[in-house]
């Protein structure tokens, strides 16, 4: 019989990741895993067992290949003919946080639980963040795999 974790037994930690020179997709998949709680032995698919993730220096994030110029993000306004298109190059100037948020959102399963888990993601353009009171566990993303970072 599988033992599922109860709501009273859930303990959320705080994790800090520095996104300097990190590859977007690799970083987003690691964040999605932490938000869902898949890195814990107590993982339960129908419970929000994940940790809070604070990501800093998102303005220094990188794409591999030609994705920075060629990739397109689509959204629809809901009106006829209302499809809108943007690229990472345009988003980087306006809202660099949105690039990582979209990547992580699309790696989470759809539904109310994923929306709740996405609220645990805190993204900041620069090094400073207001979460120093929560004892943050530092994850050195670059040291996990040599392909995690791009040096240009």
- Indicate the CATH number of 12-63+97-144 among 3.30.70.270, 3.90.1180.10, 1.10.10.10, 1.10.3720.10: 3.90.1180.10
CA 151 to chain centre: 21
Rounded to two decimals, the pTM is 0.91
User: What is the tens place of the pLDDT at every residue in 135-152?
Assistant: 999 999 999 999 998 876
Residue 64 is predicted with a pLDDT of 93
pLDDT > 80? residue 21? yes
User: What is the tens place of the pLDDT at every residue in 39-63?
Assistant: 998 888 898 999 999 999 999 999 9
Query: Mean pLDDT of all residues in the chain?
Result: 93
Residue 152 is predicted with a pLDDT of 63
Residue 150 is predicted with a pLDDT of 87
Confidence of residue 7 (pLDDT cuts 50, 70, 90): confident
Residue 4 is predicted with a pLDDT of 82
Residue 2 is predicted with a pLDDT of 74
User: What is the tens place of the pLDDT at every residue in 65-113?
Assistant: 999 999 999 999 999 999 999 999 999 999 999 999 999 999 999 999 9
Mean pLDDT of 3-7: 84
């Amino acid at each position: 019989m599988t033992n599922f974790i109860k709501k009273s037994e859930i303990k959320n930690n705080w994790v800090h990741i520095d996104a300097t020179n990190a590859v977007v997709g690799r970083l987003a998949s690691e964040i999605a895993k932490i938000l869902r709680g898949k890195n814990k032995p107590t993982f339960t698919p129908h419970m929000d067992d994940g940790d809070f993730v604070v990501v800093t220096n998102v303005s220094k994030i990188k794409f591999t290949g030609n994705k920075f110029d060629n990739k397109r993000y689509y959204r629809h306004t809901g009106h006829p003919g209302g499809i809108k298109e943007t690229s990472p190059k345009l988003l980087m100037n306006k809202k660099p946080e949105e690039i990582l948020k979209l990547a992580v959102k699309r790696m989470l399963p759809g539904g109310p639980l994923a929306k709740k888990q996405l609220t645990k993601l805190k993204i900041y353009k620069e090094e400073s963040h207001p979460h120093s009171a929560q004892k943050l566990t530092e994850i050195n993303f670059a040291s996990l795999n040599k392909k995690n970072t791009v040096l240009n």
